[in-house]
Amino acid sequence: MPMHPDRGLLVVHDETDGTTSVSICAKVIDGKPQDVYAQYHHAPRVEIDPDVALTRRGRNRFTKEIVEVTSAGDGVVNVRYPKYDPLP
């Protein structure tokens, strides 16, 4: 069962063991996450929608816009832009 989504700026860090760590934060300064409120450590796979723009700074990649991050518990982390229901 999927967990609730986390929304915020994203920083992706490739670990030396071939896994990826993801931080969801309030801001990114010089490619580093600040005010982190959710993390996924050593995820075996991170699937990022192709429309999500990433900027690279050193070993980190990050977004400049808010994204939605979910994980179904199998270790796979999914990243996409938030989808909001239109107002009636």
- The pLDDT value given to residue 2: 52
Does residue 80 have a pLDDT over 60? yes
Q: Where are the domains of the chain?
A: 6-80
- The pLDDT value given to residue 34: 97
Q: Residue 21: beta bridge partners?
A: 13
Tell me the pLDDT tens digit for each residue of 2-49.
Answer: 568 899 999 999 889 988 999 999 999 999 999 999 999 998 889 999
Tell me the pLDDT tens digit for each residue of 49-63.
Answer: 999 999 999 889 999
- The pLDDT value given to residue 1: 43
Strand duo 76-80 + 45-48: pairing: parallel
- Within 8 A by CB and 6+ apart from 36, the residues are 23, 24, 25
